[in-house]
Structure 1
Amino acid sequence: MNHNTPLSPRPLRHLAEVHRRVLSTAQLRAHGVTAAEASEQCRAGGPWQQILPGVFLLRPGPPTSEERLHAVLLYAAREVPPAGVPAQPGPDEPHRPGYTEAMITGLAALNLHGFAAAPPLLSLERIEVLVPRLRRLRSTGCARIVRTPALPAPCVRTGLPVAPVARALADAVAGLSDAVTVRRLLTEAVRGGHCEAASVVRELTRARLLGRPHVVDAVDSLLAEGRAITEERLYRMVREHGLPDPAWNVDLRLPGGPHLGGVDAYWPEQAVAVELDTRAPRQDDDAMWSEYVRKREHLERLGITVVHITPRKLRETAEQQAAVVRTALMASGDRDPAAYVVVLPR
């Protein structure tokens, strides 16, 4: 047998090109190649190479970034269907092997998500792959195993399962000590619209990374960046959906009485306020939420309608949020008059 010999009578034309080059021991066996034959092909100077335990590259030379990604997933996946699939795909549909309970994470995942601040895939010595905590796997070669109690739902990038941005960021930051790189990655996540600041902080908190000074500094900048972006989206929503101009970023106070709190937008004639929920999910999250609730309930007892909007809703459903605000403004005439409050710049 040589590298020009067909693997078996079972055809390979249903496989995408990379899946003809990177195969597992089980897939080779499904094509009639024994373990001994595979080892023979991987001898010194041979046409194949074993790049991870049980994973073979069916050509000489350094693996490409695409081949390394598939190899890492083949190594870490719990079950990979054999190369000859029982259900035949259509003539123009390449079969992609399933990568069960494994997904790319860390810097490689950020690269696949399109992060400009992420390094090139070929420059990464190891590719991180996320697996369930109880899997019996070890980091080896170009594969670095990252364990989690519960796998998130993967995103699909270039046909590969990839961890969501916030999770991939946390796994990347865990291995970084350079403050500039951490700040660039976190900032691009929010500024580039990949995810909200709160979801990033939530994952960093879960990974217990907020005790690192360079991470805390980057998070503070991230939250300020996220707040500014969310406010800009609120301005755009009001403008693009034809809502009347409110008083922006104001404090409300009873005449000669206590301070009622700040709101992001306020329509005095209709007594309607908008408050953006840009809380960071840290340890004091419950206390902060309780303060939000107390303030809203106090304002509503005074006859002021409070519309609570999260950054995610504002980003994904701005038209729907504008309709909610418009409805509140139109309904003001049917409500009892609100208490008079003093509106001050914040």
Structure 2
Amino acid sequence: MHHISAPDNVATITELRAHGVTNHAITTRCRPSGPWQRVLPGVVLMSAARPTRRQRLRAAIAYAGPDSVVSGVDAMRAHGIDVPLLPDVLVLAPATRRLASRAYLTVERTTRPPRPTPHAGLPYAPLARAVLDAARRAADHEQLRVLLTSTIGPCTVGELRTELDAGSQRGSAAVRALLTPDLASADEVVPEEVTLARRLLRGTALPAPQWHVPVHDDVGMLLGVPDAWWPEVGLALDVGPRTRHHDPRAWLAAGRTLFRTDQHRLSTAPTAVMDELVAAFAAAAANGHRRAG
């Protein structure tokens, strides 16, 4: 069988057949011990490894078909909003398409399919639509508050209210109650630990970092928005509790280094923390992690 090239190693059965792969060959390769796997009905991952988040998104769009878009927290992250991932992927599809939710995928059929915003080869809902789709599914008040406050800045309260009024009213009461002018000022204060980190860094030989910028891996997936970022060596610094969902292993797998500390340690052992950070910078530079986020 000749080599088949597919984005993210994800292909539909129709596409595989078009490349001359028979049904028998597909079935054989997708057996439990085989080199491929079915991730959604009619969609194959041409690898036996656990699907990455991006491969799950690619498979979801392949399953949902043309004019479908990724929404919810995955789309928020594509727009650079650093919110924790949820287990499920949300995809919007035209209401005329008969599709059922499957496995990790939630399909919402809509009479208002948004114009997709492309990012790194995948179609996403615009930010206001994405955050409200996520907000209507929030598990509790705290998750809802985090989703909304994380978006203020790139989106205004007015833009969110306009999108809310135009869309489905299902699950919108709690969202509407939080979308007040006060929300815009809820996250404006710079946390004390970030202010302290800025002051301590000025006393080191480290170059000035970028503050609160999105950092992506090599396939365009958001790793996070750390408190500080040195793109020349691929080193990130987290000092606040708001980024505790960042996983250092995921950053390392992407060729970036995540250094984490907290306010207590910054306050009680500032010299030790800065020495460790300088050492992490030197190690990252020596490892050749010179990738821009």
TM-score (norm 1): 0.50
Q: How far does residue 210 in structure 1 lie from its aligned partner after superposition?
A: 6.9
Amino acid at match of 1:197: V
Q: Deviations over 1:113-156 (max 9, x none)?
A: 1111x213xxx322111111111111001221012112111111
**What corresponds to 1:135 in structure 2?**
97
Shift of 1:224: 2.7
Counterparts of residues 316-331 of structure 1 (less than 5 Å): none
Asked if 2 retains the 8 angstrom alpha-carbon contact of 1:101 and 1:132, the reply is: yes
CA distance in 2 between partners of 1:31 and 1:151 (Å): 31
Q: Secondary structure of the residue that 1:150 maps to in structure 2?
A: coil
User: 2:51 — aligned with what?
Assistant: 63
Matching of residues 52-91 of structure 1 within 5 Å: 52-77=40-65
Query: In the aligned structure 2, how far is the partner of 1:129 from the partner of 1:211?
Result: 19
In the aligned structure 2, how far is the partner of 1:41 from the partner of 1:182? 43
Say whether residues 1:6 and 2:14 are aligned partners. no
Question: Does residue 113 of structure 1 match 2:113?
Answer: no
1:105–1:171 contact (8 Å) kept in structure 2: yes
User: What is the CA deviation profile of residues 240-264 of structure 1, one whole-angstrom value per residue up to 9, with x for unaligned ones?
Assistant: xxxxxxxxxxxxxxxxxxxxxxxxx
* 2:45 is the alignment partner of 1:45: no
Is residue 169 of structure 2 the alignment partner of residue 208 of structure 1?
yes
Q: Report the counterpart of residue 182 of structure 2 in structure 1.
A: 224
| Aligned 8 A contact 2:89 2:104 in 1 | yes
Corresponding residue of 2:14: 26
Q: Identify if the C-alpha distance between structure 1 residues 177 and 126 changes in structure 2 by more than 3 Å, giving closer, same or farther.
A: closer
1:216 Cα shift? 3.7
Percent sequence identity is 34
Structure 1's unaligned 5+ residue stretches are 78-99, 230-346
Q: Which residue of 2 aligns with 1:102?
A: 68
Aligned to 1:263: none
CA distance in 1, matches of 2:144, 2:171: 12
124, 140, 144: which one aligns with 1:182: 144
Q: How far apart are residue 202 of structure 1 and its match?
A: 2.3
Question: 1:173 and 1:215 mapped to 2: Cα distance?
Answer: 7
Q: CA deviation at 1:172?
A: 0.6
Query: Alignment partner of 2:152: what SS?
Result: helix
Residue number in structure 1 paired with 2:110: 148
Could you tell me which amino acid in structure 2 is paired with residue 108 of structure 1?
D
CA distance in 2, matches of 1:154, 1:47: 33
> Is 1:199 the counterpart of 2:159 in the alignment?
yes
Q: Distance in 2 between matches of 1:173 and 1:210?
A: 9
Q: For the structure 1 residues 228 and 53, does the alpha-carbon distance in structure 2 shift closer, same or farther, using more than 3 Å as the test?
A: closer
- Per-residue CA deviations over 1:84-125 (Å, capped at 9, x if unaligned) read xxxxxxxxxxxxxxxx21110011111211111x213xxx32
Contact kept in structure 1, 2:136 and 2:175, CA below 8 Å: no
5 Å matches for 1:252-271? none
1:188 to partner: Cα distance: 2.1
**Normalization by structure 2: what TM-score?**
0.59
Unaligned 5+ segments in structure 2 are: 188-293
